[in-house]
Structure 1
Amino acid sequence: MSNMLLVPALSLPSEAPSLADAVAQAVRDGVAAGELVPDRTYSVYQLADLLGVSRSPVREGMLRLAEAGLVEIRRNRGFRVLLPHAHDVEEIVEIRLALEPPAARKAALRGTPEEHAAIRDALDAMAAAAGSGDETAFWPADRALHDLLLRAAGNGRAAAIVARLRSTTALLGPPTTAGGRTLAEIHAEHEPVVAAVLARDGEAAEAAMRAHLEATGSLLVARLRTPG
């Protein structure tokens, strides 16, 4: 039996490119917030009612999540959330390491003054959110910074890939729970990346991004491999 009545707060993001994308993001957000849990089967019909949309975009959104390995479709029953395992996170980090450090180098060397200003502003937004302990503002700024770096490198496809990969690890909950890192500590890992980019030091930017991703990946994998 579905337990959707135990999920009081899911909402559609306004910035999604399509209704199916919005549904998929609402489910991701619900899982990350602990409102959708892996040990229950959720009905497409009830999810549609909860989000105030028709069943068609819900089904399409679930199919996209299933293709990404984030949910399991249960025929005539609904869907079940699948949390990533340690090996999944290792694969995700490996892909990000292949994409983001070289992109940081290119962003440093090729980024326009306007792109560099946007990158600096994203880091400033992270600093402000960390200073006030505002996680709801911190993580969008974090995602924006990584996205801006990839796009400043001229690789919009890589930016889209990384956004999807981050959606998977987001299902594990806020990264502050991995190894007990604070928002200030996570912000501090990004500072040398941005400093190098703004100084147009490609080698340092690449090295700093690699160090950040390796640290984050190690903490996430260690958390998943720790019993309980």
Structure 2
Amino acid sequence: MPPTREHAELKLQPLPHAGRSLAEQVISEVRRAVHTGAMVPGRLYSVYQVAEQLNVSRSPVREALLRLAEAGLVQVERNRGFRVVLPHPREIVEIFGVRLALELPAVRRVAAGAAGATGAAADLGGALRATMDEMAAAVGKGDEGLFFHLDQALHDHILVAAGNGRSRAIVGGLRDTMRILGTSTDDHSRTLRQVHEEHEPIVAAVAAADPEAAERAMRSHLTSTGLILAGQAARMQGEPVDVAALWASIVN
């Protein structure tokens, strides 16, 4: 659908077309445009506009918008276009409430099984430590994208070892939603190095076969991350949300 006066002005850069799928690249560009202000929440944009400026066909744009709509970042209006919708703090708190419910028993189970670890359990400890080393290297390079990919891998190692495939799939889906939303705590609230340091007691507790410490460390990490992200969402929307009270009402 060609843009009309009804659609807001838009200026995007053509995609490189290399590496990731075009839909993934469109998702990244929409997120970047929202963060830089090139796309304004609430304004109406057209698929035609986006496809033309990114120099791609409308198919990957439609695929990307479908995934963004599922994540709650855009609202598609049939035969009109789409609008960017910022995530509400409640959505973020609910996501972390589910993650806590699934990842705390997972890390506790894994740590409990690490006593006298041999075979698969020992392999897990090695995988966690190797991932921590790679995360530290990403911190040194300032590579945020690689760092958060490794962050996700570390959590996934624990979920795989816990043996509940359904929990792993649910957490993976929730993390994908957060990734598509583009929410990251790598701002003035917390550095990549601090995020890395929050994972250290989790890995150490698993290695020490200490379920209580592993659960405490995972709870602390997820709670810190969830509160920061919900606070960022509240500030972006200019809403007077008491994030701590919201967290207490939903999670605690």
Q: What band does the TM-score fall into relative to the shorter chain?
A: 0.7 to 0.9
Q: Deviations over 1:45-81 (max 9, x none)?
A: 4444566665445434433432332321111132222
Q: Report if the CA contact (8 A) 1:13-1:26 is conserved.
A: no
Relative distance call for 1:49 and 1:224 in structure 2 (3 A) is closer
Name the TM-score, length of structure 2 as normaliser: 0.73
Q: Deviations over 1:115-155 (max 9, x none)?
A: 33222221111111223333232121112112222122223
User: Using the alignment, how far apart are the partners of 1:42 and 1:121 within structure 2?
Assistant: 44
Residue 156 of structure 2 is aligned to residue 147 of structure 1: yes
Pairs within 5 Å for 1:50-199 = 54-108=57-111, 109=113, 112-170=121-179, 171-177=181-187, 180-199=189-208
* Letter of the structure 2 residue corresponding to residue 168 of structure 1: T
Is the contact made by 1:101 and 1:210 (CA closer than 8 Å) also made in structure 2? yes
Change (3 A) 1:145 1:42: farther
Identity %: 49
Distance 2:138 2:57 in 1: 36
Is 1:29 paired with 2:28?
yes
Mapped contact 2:128–2:203 kept (Cα < 8 A): yes
Note the C-alpha offset of 1:89: 1.1
Change over 3 Å in CA distance of 1:189–1:53 after alignment to 2: same
Mapped contact 2:104–2:218 kept (Cα < 8 A)? yes
Structure 1 residue identity aligned to 2:167: A
Distance verdict in 2 for CA 1:197–1:3, change over 3 Å: farther
Give 1:181 deviation, angstroms: 0.8
Q: Which runs of 5 or more structure 1 residues have no equivalent in the other structure?
A: none
Q: Which residue is 2:248 aligned to? A: none
Please name the residue that 1:7 is paired with: 12
Q: Secondary structure at the match of 2:76?
A: strand
Look up the equivalent residue of 1:89 and give its one-letter code.
I
Q: CA–CA distance in 1 between the matches of 2:16 and 2:156?
A: 24
TM normalised by structure 1 equals 0.79
Distance 1:216 1:75, change over 3 A: same
Unaligned runs of 5+ in 2: 1-6, 115-119, 240-252
In our comparison, the structure showing a higher alpha carbon Rg is: 2
